[in-house]
Structures are given as structure tokens and as C-alpha cells.
Structure 1
Amino acid sequence: MSIDRENVHLAQRRTKQNQNNKKRRWPLVVAGLSFMSASMGAAFAIFMTSKPLQQSALSAEEKAIFGDENLTASALGVPKLTRPVNILVMGTIVLTSDLPGATDQNPGEYLAQVNSTLDGHSDAMLLVRFDPATNKITALSIPRDSRVYIEEVGYSKINAANYVGGAALAAQTVSDMLGDVTIDRYIRVNVGGFSQLIDALGGVEVYVPKRMKYQDDSQHLYINLNEGMQHLDGDKAVQYMRFRHDDLGDIGRIQRQQTLLRAIFEQKLNLETVSRIPEIVKVLKRNIDTNLSMQELLALAAFGAQTDLESAKMLMVPGRFSAPEEFPLSYWIVDEYSLPRLVSEHFDLPLQYAESYGSIEATTPQYIRVAIQDSIAEPDATDLATDLLYESGYDRVFRAEYDWHQPLEKTQIVAQQGDTTMAEQVRRDLGIGEVVVESTGSLESDVTVRIGRDWLELRRKSLSASQDELELESDDFDHSEGTIESDFNPVGYRS
């Protein structure tokens, strides 16, 4: 009985303690919610005009490039997208050393002489699609060195379009290159603003694939990053994104940009992030130029809040590096056969237009180019994957020119050219992996198989099952052999 009374008293004390803890936590919850509301209120207070972040006025002709259709509708007071929306996003850069009357500056700080203007060359270009029908986001990276036709300029690198004619000419050039894809709005941000935005977000966790060190005093460009998983602040994130001094040049930089965006998407919204909203908005206000309206901004924010950003598709305009003898300058030569198929699948370009470029190659295994990429430092694992695909009818399988820098737990099937049908087929035939749509694999492939640790586990189970089967067959053979020996001998006599 005394033990029972003691247990009752203990239970009563715990109940009272829990009630006190709830009472103490409740003010914290209320304070947190109040703080979030205040933060959001402070952010929205900055947006008082229909287009609060537009810094450059557009002429009537320029406005016509984007159209004036309303992209949103209100549902219970919350703006929502009414159809898929394509937005051209550009990161621009102008160095003060490139401006008229520039004077020499002492080298030292990273990008210390970046001018805040948005009218420079576009260092990064992405066409981003927000699709409420599929609840997906697709980003198409456009190499800055892509050789295209620009009105009033002729053939040049596509990054010159913004410098020559601003956002409208850049949008028109991109639309022409992609076969008249509609571009509804634009966003321009300068490189300094991107750095400040990363700082306002609290930095970003990124795996730096190798030692990155580079110095260019003429551009005041200083890059100094160590290999490994790191928490990058704004300056270091820009260093990571702008590094291009490797075998892939600007294409390697695009791959790092996609990796950085993926890392940002994977960072979850938390109370600390929400508390930074007023600072984030101030950064946007200073460094962004966009013709998105207030309603459209809110609709995009609501769309992003309910979308799985980690599954966003990251594509790149397919092509090749120009040969030294082709042009005086180095270009990215757009693949006019592969690009329409990519845009048709991901941006609703009519398939007839894609077919007009030529026959679309069959997606049977013997035509699919598959690169095998190791992330776990196990050459035998890549050899086994190569052999398995060969046995499944894949004739164009090869080892990727470089290994993946970060060990993966789960094997990835990378749709390098954005063809998810090919990637799914390879995944089924391989019997493992998750399909990822991005352009971070081998440039020479249609699909890159990035071997993870789960592949080794699968092979172990397969080998174990095969061994068990062999042992079972051996037992059956021994039993059968023993029976024959007991009933028959070589000279024909029974025992």
C-alpha cells in the first residue's frame, strides 16, 4: 500500500510539473507567433506599390514582350497562380574598373569594386517555371557564353543582351533561342545583392568539391575556399558560384550554381529564418529589379511554401564548347536538335516544333548514353553497374570523366539532358536509385548513374542469394550423385 501511495504522489508531481512546463512554454509560443507576425507585417509594409521592386521603367514596346495578363486570382484572400508562369532570372555584374573614368584600385578584398548597377552582363541566366498544375518548379540554366542572335547586335554571347538592351532584350533573345517560349516576367539581381541575400538567410551549407583558389587583380576577384562540407556566408557563396577555372569553365560554374540552389532549397524554413524576413526584404528592395506585381509576388511566395523545393528540376541548355578554329571567341554552341525536345517536355513547347528540327532519337537502351559516376570510391561497384547495363542492352555505357565529390547514401539516376523517360528506364533496368533532374552529371551523357552506398548493399544481397542458390544446387547434385553411385557401377554390376 505504501508503494501505491508513493506512485500516486509521484504521478501527481509529474502532472503538476507538466502543467507548469506548459504554462512556461505557452508565453514562448505566443511570443514566437507574435514575432513572426510582426516580422511578416514589417516585410509587407515595405511593399506599398503594385510593382514594389521595379527599378527600371519599360517602354510600351518592352512591356509587350512580357504581356500584361493577370497571372493570379484571389482565393480566400490569398493570391494564387492561375496558370504556369515563366520568369527570366538574371544575375548581373559590373566592375567599377569597367566603367568610364575608372581609376586603379588597390587589390585586396574580394569583389570590393563591384558596382551596384543592374545593367551589366548577365553572369547567370535561368528561366524558371512555376507550374500550379503539377505543383513543380523547373529551372533552365542558360550558359552565359551561348552563341545566339541578338537584335541590333548580331551573333554574340547571350550575356551581352542585358548589357545592350536591358531585361526586355534579354527576355526576347531567350524566347527566340527557345522557340518562342513565353516569358511572363523578369528578375534581375546584382552579384552584391546575392551575397547580401545569402547573409540575410543566415548562410548556406554546401559541399565544396575541391580546393578553390584564384586571384585576378584586374577584376578584384579573389577566391579562396577549402574542400569539404562548409557553411558559406554571402561572400564565400559568391566565390563558390563564380569559380570557373577548371576543365569545364563556365559549364562547371553552372553546375555549381545548381548545386548551390539545391542546397538553399534543402534548408528548411524555421523561426530564425522568419525573423530575418525584414532584412531579406530590405536586401531585395536595394538589389533587385523585377516587373512582378505585389499580387504576383505573394502568389509566388504561397506557391513556394506549398511546393517540395528539393524536387525542383535543374536543367541546362544542351550544347558543346566551340573549337578554337571555329570562332575568334570561345562559345557554347547550342544543340538545336536536343534543345527543342527538352523545352517541349518541360516548358510546354508544341511537339511539332521540336520535330521540325529533325527526327527525335529512339530511347531504346542501345541509343542511350549512360555515364557511371562513383561517389563512394569503390571502382568494383562502378564496374558491376557497367556490366549489368551492358547485359541489359545498353551499348553506350562509359565511366564518367570524374567522380562525384560527395559520398551518397542513395544512388542517383541523373537526367542530364532533362529526359525523365530515359532516366526512369535506366533506373528500372538497374533496379535501384532515385531519379534526379539536374545537369550536374557528365556532359557527354543522356543519363548519369551516380553510385551510392545502397548499390553495394544491393550487390551484397544479390551475391548472397546467388551463393545460397549455388549451395542448394550443389546439395542437390551431391544427393543425385550419391544415388547413382549406390545403384550403378562402372562395370555394370549392382552392389
Structure 2
Amino acid sequence: MNNLRTDKYKKKKKHRVLKIISAILLVIILVCAGLLGYAYWKTSATFDQIHKPVEGKQNTSVTLNGSTPFSVLLLGVDEREGDRGRSDTMIAATVNGTTNKIQMLSIPRDTQTEIVGHNSVDKINAAYAYGGVKMAEDTASNFLNDIPFNYYIKINMEGFKDLVDAVGGITVYNDKDGLELGDKTFNKGEITLDGDDALAYVRIRKTDVEGDFGRQKRQQQVISAIADKLMSTGLIWHFNDVLNAVGDNIETDFTMNDVTKIAKNYAGALGNVENLQVSGTGGKQSDGIWYYVVSDDERARLHDELAKNLGIN
């Protein structure tokens, strides 16, 4: 009789434990579902805020299925109240999911070129000031002998520091001693940067023996470091900060669905970035203005490099 009562007690206790475990699992599932729902809502709301199709541009989006290459024009712009500003940074990027390779070509802002739609020859960074993203895209495409741009991303450089802070800072390797801007000095070696430091680091030109080319390298370096942080599992702890920084400082014609497809179908390319440079000569021209002059042969070479990764002629 006692054994029977003991067995019943054990079964009852076991049943109660299972109920407690089930209740705990249910709470965890509900909490996770709530977080995922919030994350989806927050991300979706952010993309609604930053999604800005280019007015007057034909639809150039592609099927982001992993086998179709695509191109992006990245613009870093110094915007101030009442002033559109110029594109301080212009990077042509191509992404190939078959070869798993990303190319990043920084076009020097002082590059002399035809400003498409403005009937003038000027520094390439003036295109954005004259006609916004559309004119910047058309001008960069023309400079690269008709390399098309499927998408664009524009970031306000003043807000660039917000994104670095949002991911908890970044670590990069500085290959030069004595880089200075204002009261900030960066010496050779591995350095950890907060937002203010990163913004200064990518703006240095005068104290870099490579001038604008050194600045371009650092821009690409910092962009890659931010991307690495964004892809890390620790992003969940910075989720709100990242989306707030993105919402305040970035515009793009990518949709949330596009970015989801890229993360899924082109992940293999993210770790294989080829940085390209524009070769030319700098000096004052007949109008007394300093330009970076690029030959037709060099433009043809750059076209061929980018076209190969895009699978076009």
C-alpha cells in the first residue's frame, strides 16, 4: 500500500515538474517571439524611413538570388542644414555571389570628369552637389565607361560616428605613424576607434604621405570593420542603437527584402573584398584649380575590372 502511494506521489511530482518545464519553455518561446516580432517591426520601420528610390531613375534592381552579380554606389556626404553638400566619399562596389568576391573602387573626390546632366567639367564630388544621387550615379557610371549601378547607399559622414558607436567601436590596423587631424593622433599598429576617432581617422589627408589615396584606404578599412561588427553575433546587444544610427544617417534604394536576400545569398562574398585604386596625376589645370586627372586608358582598365565581376562587357 505504501509502495502504491509512493508511486502515485512520484508520478504526480513528475507530472508537476513537466508542467513547470513546459510553462518555462512556453514563456521563453513567447519572449523570443515577442523579441523577433519587435525586431522585425523595428527593422521594417527603419527601412521605411531610409528607403529613398532615386527620382527619375529607371528600375535597375536585380534578382538577388546569389547567382546574379550586382553593383552599388556608396556616397559619403557632408550634409549641413540648408546645404546638400558634396560627396566626400564615392565608392563603386560590385558583388559576385558565384565567385564570392566584392570589389570596392574608391574614386578620388578631386577627379576631373564630365558632370552628366550639368553640361560641365568639374571635380567628380560636385555631381552630388549639383544634382543629388541621380547626377552622382550618372556621372560615376559615365566616368567608368558605362558601368551601371543597380543600387546606392548614401551616408551622412557627420553621422558616421553614430554608426561606429552603435556597434560598440571598431578595431583596425593603422600602417602609418603620426597620422594627425586636429587634436587626434594615430600611430602605427592595431587601434580601437570610437565614433569621433573613426570620423577623424577617415578624414585625414594632409598628414598622410599617400594623401587622398591613404584616406580612401582608411575609408574602405573602416567600412569593412563596421560590416564585420554588424555580422557578428554580438549585434543583438546593439540592435536599437544600430537601427537608430541607420535611420538617422542613411538613405538607400535597397528594401528590407533586398538586404535579407543579400545576407542569405551572398554571405560567402563578404569575407573576400578586393580594394581597387584609380591611377592618375594631380595638379593645377588651366583654370587654376587642382584636379586629379585620369587617362582614357585607365578608365577603360577600371571598366574592365568591374565589368568582369559583374559578368558584363
TM-score, scaled to structure 1: 0.51
Cα deviation digits, residues 207-263 of structure 1 (max 9, x gap): 332223333xxxxxx544344322101110111100111333222211222333344
Q: Are 1:213 and 2:197 counterparts?
A: no
1:164 to 124, 130, 133: 130
2:155 to 189, 194, 210: 189
| Residue in 2 that maps onto 1:333 | 293
2:140 to 174, 178, 183: 174
| Residue in 1 that maps onto 2:72 | 87
- Quote the Cα distance in structure 1 between the aligned partners of 2:312 and 2:235: 46
Cα deviation digits, residues 378-427 of structure 1 (max 9, x gap): xxxxxxxxxxxxxxxxxxxxxxxxxxxxxxxxxxxxxxxxxxxxxxxxxx
Max radius of gyration: which structure? 1
| 1:415-434 paired onto structure 2 within 5 Å | none
* Aligned amino acid, residue 85 of structure 1: F
Identity %: 28
- Quote the Cα distance in structure 1 between the aligned partners of 2:126 and 2:30: 47
Q: Are 1:42 and 2:24 counterparts?
A: no
1:316 to 267, 277, 280: 277
Alpha carbons of structure 1 residues 325 and 225: separation in structure 2 relative to 1, 3 Å? same
2:194 to 223, 230, 233: 233
| Residue in 1 that maps onto 2:63 | 71
Cα deviation digits, residues 353-378 of structure 1 (max 9, x gap): 7xxxxxxxxxxxxxxxxxxxxxxxxx
- Quote the Cα distance in structure 2 between the aligned partners of 1:35 and 1:211: 50
Alpha carbons of structure 1 residues 132 and 271: separation in structure 2 relative to 1, 3 Å? closer
- Quote the Cα distance in structure 1 between the aligned partners of 2:35 and 2:195: 22
Asked if the contact 2:71–2:93 (Cα under 8 Å) also holds between the matched residues in 1, the reply is yes
Cα deviation digits, residues 28-52 of structure 1 (max 9, x gap): xx97x99887665433213447962
Asked if the contact 1:199–1:234 (Cα under 8 Å) also holds between the matched residues in 2, the reply is yes
- Deviation (angstroms), 1:311: 2.0
- The gaps in structure 2 that reach 5 residues or longer are 1-23
Which structure's relative contact order is higher, taking Cα pairs within 8 Å and 6+ residues apart? 2
Q: What is the count of residue pairs matched by the alignment?
A: 285
* Aligned amino acid, residue 202 of structure 1: G
* Aligned amino acid, residue 276 of structure 2: L
- Deviation (angstroms), 1:341: 2.4
Alpha carbons of structure 1 residues 298 and 328: separation in structure 2 relative to 1, 3 Å? same
Alpha carbons of structure 1 residues 53 and 336: separation in structure 2 relative to 1, 3 Å? farther
Alpha carbons of structure 1 residues 254 and 133: separation in structure 2 relative to 1, 3 Å? same
Structural RMSD (CA): 3.2
SS at match of 2:268: coil
- The gaps in structure 1 that reach 5 residues or longer are 1-26, 73-79, 100-116, 216-221, 354-495
Q: Are 1:342 and 2:302 counterparts?
A: yes
Q: Are 1:152 and 2:118 counterparts?
A: yes
Q: Are 1:143 and 2:108 counterparts?
A: yes
- Deviation (angstroms), 1:338: 2.7
1:127 to 89, 92, 113: 92
Q: Are 1:252 and 2:214 counterparts?
A: yes
SS at match of 2:168: coil
- Deviation (angstroms), 1:201: 1.2
- Deviation (angstroms), 1:284: 1.0
Asked if the contact 1:212–1:224 (Cα under 8 Å) also holds between the matched residues in 2, the reply is yes
- Deviation (angstroms), 1:190: 0.3
Asked if the contact 1:140–1:314 (Cα under 8 Å) also holds between the matched residues in 2, the reply is yes
TM-score, scaled to structure 2: 0.78
Asked if the contact 1:89–1:186 (Cα under 8 Å) also holds between the matched residues in 2, the reply is yes
